[in-house]
């Protein structure tokens, strides 16, 4: 008698009595809730039968028992009532229409978001969670900050750390192949046979290799090349081969000058900078390409510029590491660090002079310092004040 | 009905019947309110209307969606990226309207996630096996090459299957054999003989477009081979003289100025040429494509398109990528503004075909290996 099924009672009188009893028994809060549920709600929109592209304007009507159905403007019901809790509803996305798919295949489309939310949210409180994040400024700002921080950390710590780990894990065979390939490419494009006579080459080679024959299990080898296009420079290849240009040899007044430069280059070999630079550049290029890949209207320009800018930052860091290595090596061998600062000054001055002469395109140049075209324009951007600092470090060292 | 091979008189009768039956349901273009009074007079048979596409999204709105997508993808270590992809696709589909109705992207993120996992696993296997020995590397590369046509087909079918307009889905019925023919044989031929490139691009377009259908009606684009050569020839005819004049000029200016002037010139020419080719290929793909009796028009113009690409590029560059969502919206707006459909009669008679669900693997494998097969 206390809890009979309310709506299946025989007479209106009985029904009235029962409702009265309920009102006496139930709490006010529960009642208010009931009243709200019985309020008639509807949303206007369009109906598609899911079989053809026929479109008709229609209304979605709330039945009062957590169900809804679609009626046409003429008042015919187009779907059977279906449970809201189990409905296939597209989550809200900006101002785009919401779509409700009925089990018979019919689809109701509406932009009446307010009415839809009033019907939907009591039964499906979590359906629009992503929209809630997307439409509130504070979440967007928080997302922006976290994203920026993560991207920054990836670029400044993640990629260099990854490249370092991979560079040290790579088998010797791989680095040798890459080193040989790079030297062949350089020989073809920028370098020619050294003009220094064989005997002097041999003497210098022996002197340098006696100074440091190998580092971290990488045997070092020394090559001399004439490079009018690159100018005074030396560079370390991934394989441990160090190339001196004739122009650099001519700048040196004594063997100690060359030993200082050699120390710097061995520093690059020891830290596997060439390999790391290669890995970092390719990782960056891939990341940028993935990021902008679906934006067909952008071009490879987008991919190239940030890679170049970030690369210049990386190479500055590498120069510093190689400088420190050179400094320690010179100090422990009781050679004055001033030999290095003198050479830096001379190299810098020689390139300053040469600036009047244009440099050729020096793409694909390996990791090196203040030499090729790429590095030269970097000099204006970022490394130039650094040269002063680097010179100072060696001048002030004892 | 649009697909039938009836005689024209039969067709007209059909159209008339359909109009009669459906006239009550005919919706006024772009309006939400129906005007019932007008239903008494039948519209003329096969009324021809020019319908333009519209894009209603805004950069600011998409920016918020995009940043939340990126953020959630980062903190879920990439798992959310499948949901992010669906939300992005949905945003661009749902904001594009034709004849007052928007497009719909229906793919299930879980399927995309599964596809991404498989694709990632394959990539990992490929790199690990490839590292261990050169022979295995070659074997892997060959397997991957053989696998590509299937992935292309699968990705096209996946995208079509989950794209809909007015509740009717698209369908891709290209075969793997057709994909092998296009993406292996024609691609190889074009890589060996550069002059075959436009012909290959035409084949590729035809594989995508002519196998696509909306409901029960096929898309068709029967463009000849010559129009595909035209933009390439034009580009050569324009670029070569500029290049030669530039080189001569640079030579006379002396080495110092030439060193700055020449690379800039080359970059500019390359940029202009790539924009021009991309624009021409888009126009060739969509312009005069037909869907039954309805005809598509696509008129990208060099000046405005070049301006769009240039400003988008610079925008993304100078904002460290933050302009990206705005650039995407501008691109969608441009596409919608420059495309239209000449519709014959109303667009109510496409019949949906029930299709079996496709796994997303092909779609995602195609994405990961960056095979551009967009439709």
pLDDT number for residue A290: 64
The residues that bridge with A110 in the sheet, in sequence order, are: A98
> What 8-state DSSP symbol labels residue A358?
P
pLDDT recorded at residue A40: 65
Predicted confidence (pLDDT) at residue B27 exceeds the cutoff of 50: no
Among B3, B23, B67, which would you mutate to test the A interface (most chain A Cβ atoms within 10 Å of its Cβ)?
B67
Nearest to A96 among B70, B95, B260 (CB): B95
Are B345 and B145 in contact, with CB atoms under 8 Å apart?
A: no
Shortest alpha-carbon distance between residue B176 and chain A (Å): 25
**Interchain pair B90, A361: CB under 8 A:** no
Residue-level pLDDT at A231: 78
Average pLDDT over chain B, rounded to an integer: 78
The residue of B87, B105, B167, B251 whose CB has the most chain A CBs within 10 angstroms, and thus the best one to mutate to test that interface, is: B167
Residue B91 has pLDDT above 90, yes or no: yes
Test B316 with A298 for CB contact under 8 angstroms.
yes
Q: How far, in Å, CA of A83 to CA of B306, rounded?
A: 52
CA dist., res. B330 & res. B57, Å (int): 9
Cβ neighbours around B93 below 10 Å, total:
19
**Cβ–Cβ < 8 Å for A82, A65:** no
Mean pLDDT of B121-129: 75
Range in B24-38, B175-189, B310-324 the model is least confident about: B24-38
> Which residues are A385's β-sheet partners?
none
Whether B297 has its CB under 8 Å from any CB of chain A: the answer is no
> Which residues of chain A have a CB within 8 Å of the CB of B317?
301-302, 305-306
- Our CA-based measurement puts residue A321 at a distance from the nearest CA of chain B, in whole angstroms, of 28
How close does chain A come to B330, measured CA to CA in Å?
10
Residue by residue, DSSP assigns A99-151 as EEE-TTS-EEEE--HHHHHHHHTTT-TTTTHHHHHHT-HHHHHHHHHHHHHHH
pLDDT-based confidence at residue B88 (cuts at 50, 70, 90): very high
3-state secondary structure of A193: strand
Which of the 8 DSSP states describes residue A122?
T
Question: How many whole angstroms separate alpha carbon A233 and alpha carbon B172?
Answer: 59
Measured between CB atoms, which of A73, A140, A360 is closest to B34?
A: A73
DSSP strand pairing (A221-226 vs A234-236): unpaired
- Does the pLDDT of residue B101 top 80, yes or no? yes
Split at pLDDT 50, 70, 90, the class of B351 is confident
Residue B285 banded pLDDT, cuts 50, 70, 90: very high
**What pLDDT sits at residue A8?**
46
Between B240 and B42, where is the model more confident?
B240
In the A/B pair of chains, how many CB contacts fall below 8 A? 161
Query: Do B256 and A356 make contact, defined as CB atoms within 8 angstroms?
Result: yes
**Residue B258 confidence class, pLDDT cut points 50, 70, 90:** low
Instruction: Please say if the pLDDT value at position B280 is more than 90.
Output: yes
Say yes or no: B300 contacts chain A, CB-CB below 8 A.
no
Contact B308 A51 (CB under 8 A): no
Q: Determine which of A57-66, A385-394, B60-69, B234-243 has the lowest per-residue pLDDT on average.
A: A385-394
- Is the CB of B317 less than 8 angstroms away from the CB of A99? no
Dist CA A191 CA A184 (whole Å):
9
Collapsing DSSP to helix, strand or coil, B370 comes out as: coil
User: Taking the model in full, what pTM does it have?
Assistant: 0.71
Q: Determine, for residues A295 and B101 on separate chains, whether the beta-carbon distance falls below 8 Å.
A: no
Residue-level pLDDT at A16: 56
Residues of A in contact with B70 (CB under 8 A): 143, 147
Angle between helices B134-161 and B109-132 (to 10 degrees): 170
Q: Is the pLDDT of residue B119 over 80?
A: no
Instruction: Spell out which residues of chain A touch residue B324, defining contact as CB-CB under 8 Å.
Output: 291-292, 295
Complete edge-to-edge strand list for the sheet that includes strand A192-193: A192-193, A221-226, A241-245, A234-236
Neighbours of A134 (CB within 10 A): 25
A56-62 β-sheet, strand order: A82-83, A67-72, A56-62, A42-48, A107-110, A98-101, A88-89
User: For residues B287 and B297, is the Cβ–Cβ distance under 8 A?
Assistant: yes
Put residue B294 in one of left, alpha, beta given phi > 0 → left and psi -120 to 50 → alpha.
Answer: beta
Strand partners, A71: A59, A77
Q: What is the pLDDT of residues B182-218, one digit of tens each?
A: 988 999 898 888 889 999 999 999 999 999 999 889 9
Contacts of B159 in chain A (CB under 8 A): none
Distance from CA of A374 to the nearest CA of B (A): 12
What tens-digit pLDDT sequence spans chain A (398 residues)?
445 444 444 455 555 555 555 555 554 445 445 445 555 688 999 999 888 888 899 999 988 788 899 999 888 889 988 988 888 999 899 889 999 999 888 999 999 998 898 888 888 888 888 888 888 888 889 889 988 898 888 888 888 898 888 888 887 777 888 888 788 878 887 788 888 888 888 888 888 888 888 887 788 888 888 887 777 888 888 888 888 888 888 888 888 888 888 888 888 888 888 888 888 877 877 776 666 555 544 455 555 555 666 666 667 888 888 888 888 888 888 888 888 888 888 887 777 666 544 444 433 334 444 444 444 433 433 444 577 778 888 887 76
Task: Please report which confidence band the pLDDT of residue B296 belongs to, taking 50, 70 and 90 as the band edges.
Answer: very high
Question: What pLDDT, on the 0 to 100 scale, is given for residue A97?
Answer: 92
The pLDDT value recorded for residue B209 is 93
Closest chain A C-alpha to B251 CA, distance in angstroms: 13
CB–CB of B219/B291 below 8 Å?
yes
Binary contact (A94, B32; C-beta < 8 A): no
Contact A296 B312 (CB under 8 A): no
pLDDT at B290 over 90: yes
Interface residue B263 vs chain A (CB under 8 A): yes
Q: What is the pLDDT of residue B282?
A: 92
Alpha carbon distance B375, B256 (integer Å) = 47
Given this model, what pLDDT does residue B201 score?
A: 93
Least Cα separation, residue A100 to chain B (angstroms):
11
Q: Which helix (H) or strand (E) holds A326?
A: helix A300-332
With contacts defined as CB-CB under 8 Å, which chain A residues touch B71?
142-144, 146-147
Which among A93, A142, A295 has CB closest to B87?
Answer: A93
């Amino acid at each position: 008698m206390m809890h009979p099924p309310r709506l299946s009672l025989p007479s209106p009188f009985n029904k009235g009595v029962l409702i009265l009893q309920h009102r006496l028994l139930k709490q006010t809060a529960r009642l208010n809730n009931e009243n709200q549920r019985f309020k008639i709600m509807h949303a206007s929109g369009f109906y598609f039968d899911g079989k053809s592209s026929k479109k008709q304007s229609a209304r979605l009507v709330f039945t009062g028992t957590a169900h809804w159905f679609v009626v046409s403007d003429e008042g015919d019901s187009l779907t059977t009532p279906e449970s809201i809790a189990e409905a296939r509803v597209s989550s809200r996305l900006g101002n785009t229409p919401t779509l409700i798919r009925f089990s018979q295949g019919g689809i109701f489309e509406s932009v009446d978001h307010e009415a839809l939310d009033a019907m939907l949210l009591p039964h499906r409180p979590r359906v629009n969670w992503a929209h809630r994040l997307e439409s509130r400024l504070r979440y967007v700002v928080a997302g922006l900050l976290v994203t920026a921080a993560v991207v920054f950390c990836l670029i400044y710590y993640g990629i260099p750390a990854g490249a370092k780990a991979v560079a040290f894990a790579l088998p010797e065979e791989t680095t040798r192949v890459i080193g040989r390939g790079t030297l062949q490419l350089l020989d073809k494009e920028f370098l020619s046979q050294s003009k220094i006579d064989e005997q002097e080459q041999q003497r210098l080679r022996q002197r340098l290799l006696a100074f440091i024959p190998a580092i971290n299990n990488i045997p070092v080898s020394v090559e001399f090349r004439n490079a009018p296009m690159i100018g005074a420079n030396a560079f370390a290849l991934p394989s441990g081969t160090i190339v001196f240009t004739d122009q650099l040899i001519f700048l040196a007044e004594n063997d100690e000058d060359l030993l200082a430069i050699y120390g710097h280059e061995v520093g690059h070999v020891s830290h596997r900078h060439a390999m790391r630079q290669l890995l970092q550049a390719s990782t960056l290029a891939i990341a940028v390409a993935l990021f902008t890949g679906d934006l067909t209207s952008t071009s490879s320009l987008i991919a190239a510029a940030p890679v170049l800018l970030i690369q210049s930052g990386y190479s500055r860091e590498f120069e510093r590491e190689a400088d420190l290595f050179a400094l320690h090596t010179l100090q422990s061998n009781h050679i004055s660090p001033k030999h290095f600062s003198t050479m830096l000054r001379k190299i810098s001055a020689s390139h300053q002079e040469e600036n009047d002469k244009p440099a050729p395109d020096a793409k694909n140049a390996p990791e090196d310092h203040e030499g090729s075209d790429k590095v030269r324009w970097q000099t204006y951007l970022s490394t130039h004040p650094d040269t002063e600092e680097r010179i100072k470090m060696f001048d002030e060292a004892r | 009905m649009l697909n039938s091979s009836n005689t024209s008189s039969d067709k007209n009768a059909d159209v008339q019947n359909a109009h009669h039956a459906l006239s009550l349901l005919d919706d006024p273009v772009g309006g939400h309110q129906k005007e019932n009074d007008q239903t008494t007079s039948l519209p003329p048979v096969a009324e021809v209307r020019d319908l333009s596409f519209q894009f209603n999204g805004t950069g600011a709105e998409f920016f918020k969606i995009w940043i939340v997508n990126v953020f959630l993808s980062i903190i879920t270590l990439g798992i959310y990226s499948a949901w992010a992809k669906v939300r992005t696709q949905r945003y661009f589909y749902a904001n594009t309207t034709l004849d007052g109705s928007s497009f719909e992207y229906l793919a299930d993120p879980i399927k995309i996630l599964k596809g991404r996992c498989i694709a990632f696993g394959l990539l990992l296997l490929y790199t690990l096996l490839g590292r261990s020995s050169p022979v295995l590397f070659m074997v892997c590369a060959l397997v991957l090459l053989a696998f590509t046509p299937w992935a292309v087909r699968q990705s096209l079918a996946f995208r079509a299957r989950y794209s809909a307009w007015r509740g009717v889905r698209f369908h891709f019925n290209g075969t793997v054999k057709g994909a092998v023919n296009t993406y292996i044989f024609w691609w190889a031929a074009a890589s060996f003989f550069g002059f075959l490139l436009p012909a290959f691009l035409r084949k590729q377009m035809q594989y995508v477009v002519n196998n696509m259908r909306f409901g029960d009606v096929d898309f068709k684009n029967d463009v000849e081979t010559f129009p595909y050569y035209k933009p390439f020839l034009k580009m050569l005819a324009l670029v070569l003289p500029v290049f030669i004049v530039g080189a001569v000029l640079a030579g006379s200016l002396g080495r110092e100025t030439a060193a700055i002037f020449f690379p800039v010139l080359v970059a500019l020419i390359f940029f202009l040429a790539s924009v021009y080719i991309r624009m021409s290929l888009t126009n060739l793909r969509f312009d005069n494509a037909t869907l039954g009796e309805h005809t598509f028009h696509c008129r990208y113009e060099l000046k405005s398109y070049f301006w769009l690409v240039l400003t988008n590029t610079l925008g993304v560059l100078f904002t460290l990528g933050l302009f990206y969502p705005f650039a995407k919206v501008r691109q969608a707006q441009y596409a919608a503004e420059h495309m239209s459909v000449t519709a014959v009669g109303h667009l109510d008679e496409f019949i949906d075909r029930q299709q079996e669900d496709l796994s997303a693997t092909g779609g995602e494998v195609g994405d990961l290996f960056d095979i551009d097969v967009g439709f």
